[in-house]
Structures are given as C-alpha cells and as structure tokens.
C-alpha cells in the first residue's frame, strides 16, 4: 500500500486557518502584529492594538486553536509568538501563494478606506492581484502609472490602493519569511515601462 506524501490533515487545517484569517480583519491584524513583534503578552496586544483585554484573550485563544500562534506558559505572564504561514493554491495551472503580507493587507482594511472600498467592490482576489503590482511599485521597479493602468480600476483609485499597499509591502518585506514567494508583476512587466 502506498503512503500519501505530506500530511493531509495538517494541510487542510492550515487551509482553514488561513481562510479564517482572511475572513476576520481583527484576527489578521492580531496575527501579523505578533509576527512582527516576535513574542508579546496580552497586555502588549491590548495596548498596541487598542482592544479590550477580554477581546485580546479571546482572539489569541482562537489563533492558538487555529495553530497560527503559540502560547508559552512557562512563566506567570504567558507570551505569544506567531507561526509563519503560507498557502499556495493552484487553479487551472495558475498558482498564487498567500503569505503574511496579504494577511497584513487584509488586516489593515478596516483602518484604510481605499482598501475597504477595494474589498467591498472587488473582493479579496482583487486585493491579492493588486498586491502583485504593489511589490514592484514599492521596490521602485515599476512606475505608479504602469501599475495603476494594469489593475483595471479607475486610475485615481488604483493609485490610492497602490500607495496603501506600498506601506504594507515596506512593513512586511523583512518580517514575512515567505515574502519572496509573493507573485510579482515585475516578472511580467509591460514593455512600455516608464
């Protein structure tokens, strides 16, 4: 009898964990905060993210159950650390990798009206697609004009979203261990680049 490669239970549970992070911006924001900070306490979370301690306890408990945070109970004050996650999806030969950078972009949406509007009008898929242009834009290898033109959005709105995502890219490129796995439009940049 042949044995299946990998661990299907772990893979599916990982898929569900990423899906839950991409359904609730507060959980996404908490996850990427812990990833950026390393180890944090409930007080750190409550103070920095400006949330009630009861919400911080509840949300960290949810993220521990999902397997994306760990809780160190060795000391009286428990500390939490993030488990770096990635999810690669392939559909009809097209592949996309979800990394903490997309989770961070989604987590910022309630505090950024342009990201909120993008999600409301076009969905999470468009946020992921826009991120592929925000990476070369933030790195200075694709102009804002070309990136905005390629997004198939109203030009001024595309620029506003790119600027919001530029901040996400710059904040996450040294923290996201899978940053280089993000699909980048720079690999298929148009010939008439500025």
- Domain layout of the chain by residue ranges: 8-82, 87-188
pTM: 0.86
**Tens digits of per-residue pLDDT, 23-50?**
999 999 999 999 999 999 999 999 999 9
Q: Helix, strand or coil for residue 75? A: coil
At 100, list the tokens.
Answer: 């903490």
- 8-82 CATH choice from 2.160.10.10, 3.10.180.10, 3.10.28.10, 1.10.10.10: 1.10.10.10
Q: Is the pLDDT of residue 184 over 80?
A: no
How far does CA 92 lie from the centroid of its chain? 23
Q: Cα–Cα–Cα angle for 60, 172, 99, nearest 5°? A: 70
Categorize the per-residue pLDDT at 193 as very low, low, confident or very high, splitting at 50, 70 and 90: very low
* Gap between the Cα atoms of 178 and 100, Å rounded: 8
Check: CB of residue 161 under 8 Å from CB of residue 130. yes
Q: What is the mean pLDDT of residues 141-165?
A: 91
Check: CB of residue 128 under 8 Å from CB of residue 96. yes
Whole-number pLDDT of residue 187: 63
Average per-residue pLDDT in the chain?
A: 87
H/E run at residue 133: helix 124-138
H/E run at residue 3: none
Q: Is the pLDDT of residue 77 over 90?
A: no
Strands (E) located in 16-85: 39-40, 69-72, 79-82
């Amino acid at each position: 009898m042949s044995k299946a490669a990998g661990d299907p239970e772990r893979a599916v549970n990982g898929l569900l964990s990423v899906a839950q992070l991409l359904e609730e911006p507060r959980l996404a924001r908490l996850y990427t905060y812990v990833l950026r900070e390393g180890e944090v306490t409930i007080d750190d979370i409550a103070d920095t993210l400006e949330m009630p301690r009861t919400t911080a306890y509840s949300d960290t408990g949810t993220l521990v159950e999902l397997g994306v945070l760990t809780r160190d109970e060795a000391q009286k004050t428990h500390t939490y650390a993030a488990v770096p996650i990635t999810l690669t999806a392939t559909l009809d030969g097209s592949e996309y990798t979800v990394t903490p950078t997309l989770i961070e972009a989604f987590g910022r949406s309630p505090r950024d009206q342009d990201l909120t509007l993008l999600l409301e009008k076009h969905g999470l898929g468009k946020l992921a697609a826009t991120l592929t242009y925000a990476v070369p834009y933030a790195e200075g290898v694709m102009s804002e004009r070309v990136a905005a033109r390629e997004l198939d959005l109203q030009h001024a709105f595309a620029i506003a979203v790119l600027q919001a995502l530029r901040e996400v890219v710059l904040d996450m490129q040294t923290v996201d261990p899978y940053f280089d796995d993000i699909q980048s439009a720079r690999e298929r940049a148009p010939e008439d680049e500025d």
